């Protein structure tokens, strides 16, 4: 079974008397009375990152991925707790210094503070991060409205190509290789826009498992559908160059996840506001489709040709 069936069949009933748990159907815990927002994520070697060759980059990836959950809810991350598993081969003095220095850099960049954690011995590396923020409200899932525009921040697809390069599934020139691998480990979080999301977003989450997979999650309890135009999905100049030079199909690179950009919907009346805020913050924000009233009539189009949705469902944890 996948993780969503596991949660639905076994754990939603355990949390049903805890309204702050959001029926385990959102990315965060939100206690409205205490203005407390918490997210928890676990990252495993061979699943979320291929190996521990670059401990300084791995720790940046897992921290940024965790911060992303709160940003997409319109919440500033304030504190984080990190628990790590590995052995003496992984956590050498050299690697521990690299990890500590990376955390110091990330704390300065995102103004967040390490507040505790735990360590255990294991044959493979694993990190679990709890991120804490405070807010009077959050932007929840399942609150999209018919005719909402669908937006994404930043660019999509760079991380996936970075992973392919790390696994030696493809090869390109060294300059581009460095760029895409860096995008895999250090996603460019839309850090400036989170504080404005409450002004216009009806519903919001980050893109972790894949664009289409996460749109399904975003509206999974609503009688609504979505339509996406592949040509409108934003990609970087470097990915565009790669696709053209090596004659690759864009559609194979943009639905695989690990983008950690914000996916949100907003009413048409806010288009000008969102565009001006994006320019002011130098933050790319792109309309890629719309929400429709017709239930289960989801569609993806490329050059006005319908695509098979089942081919683009992204990553799913299996148990």
> Is the pLDDT at 27 greater than 90, yes or no?
no
Report yes or no: 67 and 131 within 8 Å, Cβ to Cβ: yes
Highest-scoring range by mean pLDDT, 2-6, 177-181, 296-300: 177-181
Residue 90 corresponds to which tokens in the numbers above?
Answer: 């992984």
User: Which strands, in side-by-side order, build the sheet including 305-307?
Assistant: 203-206, 262-266, 149-153, 285-292, 225-229, 299-302, 305-307
| Mean local confidence (pLDDT), 169-198 | 95
pLDDT at 315: 60
- Classified as helix, coil or strand, 17 is coil
Domain ranges of the chain: 7-134, 149-309
Residue 59 corresponds to which tokens in the numbers above?
Answer: 């720790």
Say whether 149-309 and 7-134 share the same fold: no
Q: In CATH, what is the architecture of 7-134?
A: 2-Layer Sandwich (3.30)
CA dihedral 194, 201, 132, 313 (to 10 degrees): -100
Residue 75 corresponds to which tokens in the numbers above?
Answer: 């919440």
Taking only the tens place, the pLDDT of each residue in 223-232 is 999 999 999 9
Kindly report the average pLDDT of the chain as a whole number: 93
| Rounded Cα–Cα distance for residues 282 and 67 (Å) | 20
Taking only the tens place, the pLDDT of each residue in 46-65 is 989 999 999 999 999 999 99
> Could you tell me which CATH number the domain at 149-309 has?
3.90.650.10
Report yes or no: 42 and 127 within 8 Å, Cβ to Cβ: yes
Point out the least confidently predicted range of 21-25, 99-103, 139-143, 228-232: 21-25
Taking only the tens place, the pLDDT of each residue in 255-293 is 999 999 999 999 999 999 999 999 999 999 999 999 999
Question: Which band of pLDDT confidence, cut at 50, 70 and 90, is reported for residue 317?
Answer: low
> Is the pLDDT at 252 greater than 80, yes or no?
yes
Question: Which band of pLDDT confidence, cut at 50, 70 and 90, is reported for residue 118?
Answer: very high
> Is the pLDDT at 117 greater than 60, yes or no?
yes
| Rounded Cα–Cα distance for residues 215 and 312 (Å) | 11
Global confidence as pTM: 0.94
Report yes or no: 270 and 148 within 8 Å, Cβ to Cβ: no
> Is the pLDDT at 204 greater than 90, yes or no?
yes
pLDDT at 299: 87
């Amino acid at each position: 079974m996948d993780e969503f069936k596991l949660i639905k069949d076994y754990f939603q009933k355990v949390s049903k008397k805890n309204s702050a748990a959001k029926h385990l159907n959102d990315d965060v815990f939100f206690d409205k009375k205490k203005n407390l927002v918490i997210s928890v994520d676990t990252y495993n070697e061979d699943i979320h990152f291929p190996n521990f060759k670059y401990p300084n980059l791995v720790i940046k990836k897992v921290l940024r991925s965790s911060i992303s959950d709160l940003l997409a809810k319109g919440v500033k991350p304030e504190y984080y707790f990190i628990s790590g598993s590995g052995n003496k081969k992984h956590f050498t003095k050299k690697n521990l210094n690299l990890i500590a220095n990376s955390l110091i850099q990330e704390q300065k960049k995102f103004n967040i503070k390490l507040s505790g954690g735990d360590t255990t011995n294991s044959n493979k590396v694993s990190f679990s991060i709890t991120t804490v923020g405070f807010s009077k409200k959050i932007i929840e899932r399942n609150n999209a409205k018919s005719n909402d525009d669908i937006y994404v921040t930043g660019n999509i697809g760079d991380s996936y190509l970075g992973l392919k390069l790390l696994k030696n599934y493809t090869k390109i020139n060294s300059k581009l290789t460095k760029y895409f691998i860096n995008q895999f480990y250090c996603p460019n979080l839309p850090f400036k826009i989170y504080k404005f999301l409450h002004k216009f977003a009806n519903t919001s989450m980050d893109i972790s498992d894949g664009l289409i997979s996460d749109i399904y999650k975003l509206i999974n309890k609503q009688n609504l559908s979505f339509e996406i135009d592949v040509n409108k999905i934003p990609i970087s100049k470097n990915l565009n160059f790669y696709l053209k030079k090596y004659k690759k199909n864009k559609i194979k690179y943009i639905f695989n996840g690990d983008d950690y950009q914000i996916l949100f919907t907003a009413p048409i009346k806010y288009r000008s506001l969102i565009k001006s805020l994006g320019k002011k913050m130098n933050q790319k924000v792109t309309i890629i489709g719309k929400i429709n009233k017709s239930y289960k009539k989801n569609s993806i189009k490329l050059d006005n040709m319908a695509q098979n949705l089942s081919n683009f469902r992204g990553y799913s944890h299996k148990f």
